[in-house]
Chains A and B, each alone.
Chain A
Amino acid sequence: MLRIGKIPIAVFALFIIAFPWVTHEIPSIEHYTDIMIFAGIYCLITMGLSLLMGYTGQISIGHAAFYGIGAYTSAILTAQYGLNPWPCIIVGMAISAVIAVLVGAPSLKLKGHYLAMATLAFGIIVYIIFNEEAAWTGGPDGMTGIPGLSLFGFEFDSVKKYYYLVWIFVFAAFIFTVNIIQSGIGRALRAIHVSEPAASAMGVDISRFKILVFVYSAVLASLAGSLYAHYLNFINPSTFDLFFSIKLLIMIALGGMYNIWGAIIGAGLITFLSYEWLYYFQEYEVIVYGAILLLVTIFFPKGLVGVPGIVKGWFRE
């Protein structure tokens, strides 16, 4: 669980680099690059959630709110005030960090699953604000006119360009997160998950670390939201509802939350399911997600990344 091999990372990088070139050649899946942009955006959120939930053992049911705060901060500051998008993205991350401290600190100082309740309520409140504060957010109709991204005159104006931009962010966040997992901080987080009395007896400041990870995951979600807004150039509140928070949980449960790879695999699979493969189910989509969550928690509690271990176990028998 701790060592995250360099070879899988390299293979993964090659896959990501080659993906648009290969799918481009096959007309029936040409549009997969576009879907992979969303997969990358969701990966940013699920990696933070994996650190928070899988490694540290704290549950958040409100990350759609941070995703939305990032998106709306970017949208409002660029579309209404005409600011350059990059500082707006950073402002969104800073706002999310501050809000994460305000929401997380009181509940993370208590023992038990107060964070789950607090984030659930927080997510609902933020969703209502997106809908009601129409002067700022455009209300239920949402906001248009959000500019795309460019850097030193280079416009990320095609699907392929934006794809690489998003996945550079995903890779940077992935490496950073992997480094954290393999550091003393990662050890402290896993220790908190297993035994809070033992962790604190060994000098781990439990509430500080929980808040730190919660803030980190909120900042990543905010970045993801900004990237989403600048890609679609349009946002509305329904993207950031409670169901999306739950979908994020399904992603990390499906992939496996005790392993950072699970966050990536889960985000990728659920994205393709919802954008492509479950298209015909329409409103019955929710049932499929429910079934996935049920099957995974019963048969693969460690998610898909745990399957090789289970299969190995069969062969040993």
Chain B
Amino acid sequence: MNFVEEENILELNRVVMAFGGLMALSNLNFQVKKGMIKAIIGPNGAGKTTLFNIITGSFPPTEGSVMFKGLPIEHLKAHKIAERGISRTFQTVELFGNMTVLENVMLGCHTRVRSSFLSSGFQLPQFRRKEAQVKESAMKILKFIGLVDKFNDPADSLPLGEQKILEIGRALASEPELMCLDEPAAGLNETETYVASSLIRAINAKGITVLLVEHDMKVIMNISDEIAVLNYGQKIAEGSPQEIQNNRRVIEAYLGSEI
């Protein structure tokens, strides 16, 4: 349904993540094709968030490699990976609550536009120009995600649904090529879930590859091109939504009564 290319934007090869004795991920091979919406599902504790943390550089994997656009990134710090073009949201909202909605998105522009300490402190003309540019592009994103009316509200005053949307907006501000969304619909009501999944589709329509962890099967089946299923740190199935829906191992391990 989308312009999915043959080229892999992201490739994990034999990734192992051990927390002490606990194998959160074991020998995981995983690819994401450029332009697709790929979903990861699996029961709680399966290692989905750990996978995101490794991709986005929160910590390096115990073993294995992560290739983004053909280059290894598993040794890079989180902010370097953000500069390369991967952005993320968090399972539990990690907004900058004391900052305004607009400032949150402006912070998201940090990878693209920045001023030096001295030019910021002295308010040199180039600083003012950049600041205006950041503000303008942040406002554009707020329009896109539908929060432009609340641009001046403190982020923590928004209802959860809008906080989740704002977090996506902030992640969008870095103009990433790959977005990792960790349970964007968790805790949302039906309307909010609908808004969130439409937004994810609109983001994908801009050509941004989306990697998605989600429990809401309706969202998953509706928007994803491909699904991978994790269980106890291992990939137990991978395929199109139809294939996954009919996979016996998946039904046993995870879907159970839901389908």
Assembled-state Cα–Cα distance A245/B99 (Å): 30
Chain B contact patch, size range: 35 or more
Taking CB atoms, residues of chain A closer than 8 Å to B99 are: 2, 187, 190-191, 194
Confirm or deny: B58 has a beta carbon within 8 angstroms of a beta carbon on chain A: yes
Assembled-state Cα–Cα distance A179/B99 (Å): 17
Taking CB atoms, residues of chain B closer than 8 Å to A212 are: 117
The answer to whether A202 touches B110 (Cβ under 8 A) is yes
- Chain A CB within 10 Å, residue with most, of B95, B106, B110, B171: B110
The answer to whether B106 touches A198 (Cβ under 8 A) is no
Confirm or deny: B238 has a beta carbon within 8 angstroms of a beta carbon on chain A: no
Residues of chain B from 82 to 116 with CB closer than 8 A to chain A in the complex: 82-83, 87-88, 90, 94-100, 103, 106-111, 113-115
Taking CB atoms, residues of chain A closer than 8 Å to B103 are: 2, 187
The answer to whether A179 touches B110 (Cβ under 8 A) is no
The answer to whether A183 touches B115 (Cβ under 8 A) is yes
Confirm or deny: B215 has a beta carbon within 8 angstroms of a beta carbon on chain A: no
Mask: chain A, 192-225; 1 = CB below 8 Å from B; 0 = not: 0011011111111110000010001000000000
Confirm or deny: A121 has a beta carbon within 8 angstroms of a beta carbon on chain B: no
Q: Give which listed residue, B94, B98, B111, B121, contacts A198 with CB less than 8 A.
A: B94
The answer to whether A200 touches B134 (Cβ under 8 A) is no
Confirm or deny: B204 has a beta carbon within 8 angstroms of a beta carbon on chain A: no
Q: How far is the CB of B151 from chain A (nearest CB, A)?
A: 13
Confirm or deny: A185 has a beta carbon within 8 angstroms of a beta carbon on chain B: yes
Taking CB atoms, residues of chain B closer than 8 Å to A194 are: 96-99
Confirm or deny: B77 has a beta carbon within 8 angstroms of a beta carbon on chain A: yes
Across the interface, name the chain B residue whose C-beta is closest to A192. B96
- Chain A CB within 10 Å, residue with most, of B90, B108, B121: B121
Taking CB atoms, residues of chain A closer than 8 Å to B88 are: 201
Residues of chain A from 1 to 43 with CB closer than 8 A to chain B in the complex: 1-2
The answer to whether B107 touches A200 (Cβ under 8 A) is no
Confirm or deny: B78 has a beta carbon within 8 angstroms of a beta carbon on chain A: yes
Taking CB atoms, residues of chain A closer than 8 Å to B130 are: 184
Assembled-state Cα–Cα distance A212/B115 (Å): 13
- Chain B CB within 10 Å, residue with most, of A2, A176, A183, A190: A183
Assembled-state Cα–Cα distance A185/B100 (Å): 16
Confirm or deny: B218 has a beta carbon within 8 angstroms of a beta carbon on chain A: no
Across the interface, name the chain A residue whose C-beta is closest to B78. A200
Q: How far is the CB of B83 from chain A (nearest CB, A)?
A: 6
Q: Give which listed residue, B58, B83, B95, B97, contacts A203 with CB less than 8 A.
A: B83
A-B pairs with beta carbons under 8 Å apart, 13 shown: A183-B127, A184-B107, A187-B99, A191-B107, A195-B94, A200-B79, A200-B82, A202-B79, A202-B174, A203-B83, A203-B174, A205-B79, A216-B117
Q: Which are the 10 A-B pairs with shortest beta-carbon distances? A: A203-B111, A183-B120, A203-B82, A198-B94, A200-B78, A176-B121, A194-B96, A203-B110, A195-B94, A205-B79
